[in-house]
Amino acid sequence: MSAWRTVWLVMGRDLSARRRAALIVTLITLTLAVGGIVVAALATEGSSATLSGEEADRVIASMAVVILFLSLVTTGQVIAEGVAEEKRSRVVEVVLGTVAPRQLLVGKAAAIGLIGLSQVLLLVGSVAAAGVALDAFALPRATTGALVAVVGWFLVGFVFYATVYGAAGALVAPHENSGNATFPVTLLLMVGYFAGLSAPGGRSLLIQVLSLLPPTAPLTMPLRIAFGDAARWEIILSVVLTLVAAYGMIRLGARLYAGALMRGGRVRWRDAWRNAAHLG
C-alpha cells in the first residue's frame, strides 16, 4: 500500500469527521456575507458616492489582511485541536501502529486546509460579489489581483504554518486547551497582522521588509498587492522565499509532531525535537 493511499484515507476520515462543522461554518459565513451586502446596499442607497480608488484599495487591503489572518489562525487551531484530540483519546497509538506520523499529519492538514480554502473562497467570492453588486470598488484596478492574492497567499501561508500548528497540538497534555500550545505560532501570525493593519497606505520600509520575510509575508504581501504597490519581482521573491521556508517548516513540524505524539503530559518544544532524533 502506498504512502499516498494512507494519506488519502486519513484525509477522508478527517473531512468526514468535520463535515457537519464545515457546513455550519459555511452557512454562517454565507449569512454574514449576504447580510453585509444588504446592509451595505441599504447604507449607500440613494447616495451616488462610490469609493475613490484609494479608499477602495484601503477597504480591500484591510479585508484581505483580516480574512487571511482569521482563516490562517482558525485552520491552524483546528489542526492543532484535531491532533490534540487524537492524543487525548489515545487512538493515536493504534493509528501509529500502521501509519507514519508524517502521513497522519499531512492527511489531517490537507483535509482541514481544504475546508479552510473553501471558506476563504466563499469569503472572497462574497466580497467580489458585493463589489460588483454595489459597484463600490473600482474593480479594474487592483481589486481582482488582491482577491486572487488572498486565495494564493492563504495557500502559501497555510503550507508554511499548518504542520507547526499540528506539532503544537501534539505537545498538549490531556485535559489541556490546545490554545496554550499554539500561542507562540499564532504570535508569529499576529506580527504580520498588526503590522499590516497599522501600515498607512501599506507603504513603509517595515512593511516592505516584512512582506519578504516568510513568517510575515502571507499577511503583508497581499496588503501591498492590494495597494498595487508590490513589484512583480518582489511578489515572486516573497512567494519563493516563503515556499522554501515552508519546506523547512514542514520538516520541522513533522519532526516535532512525531517526537511529541507518543509522550504523555505536556511536552516541551525542545524535548519533542530531541525525542524524534531516531525518527529522522
Which residues of this chain interact with another protein, rule CB under 8 A? 1, 3, 6, 9, 13, 17, 86, 89-100, 262, 275, 277-279
- Cα 277–chain centre separation: 29
- Tell me how far, at minimum, the Cβ of 192 lies from another protein, in Å: 35
CA angle 121, 74, 89 (to 5 degrees): 125
Q: Which residue lies nearer to another protein by CB, 57 or 86? A: 86
Closest by CA position to 185, among listed 174, 196, 198, 170: 170
Q: Which residue lies nearer to another protein by CB, 58 or 102? A: 102
Q: Is the dihedral of CA 22, 97, 172, 4 positive or negative?
A: negative
CB burial string 216-236: b at 16+ within 10 A, e below: bbbbbbbbbbbbebbeeebbe
- Tell me how far, at minimum, the Cβ of 158 lies from another protein, in Å: 24
> Going by C-beta distance under 8 Å and a sequence separation of 6 or more, which residues neighbour residue 260?
167, 170, 171, 267, 271, 272, 275
- Tell me how far, at minimum, the Cβ of 248 lies from another protein, in Å: 23
* Whole-number Å distance between alpha carbons of 156 and 254: 17
Q: Which residue lies nearer to another protein by CB, 3 or 206? A: 3
- Tell me how far, at minimum, the Cβ of 91 lies from another protein, in Å: 4
Q: Which residue lies nearer to another protein by CB, 17 or 30? A: 17
- Tell me how far, at minimum, the Cβ of 118 lies from another protein, in Å: 22
Q: Which residue lies nearer to another protein by CB, 86 or 229? A: 86
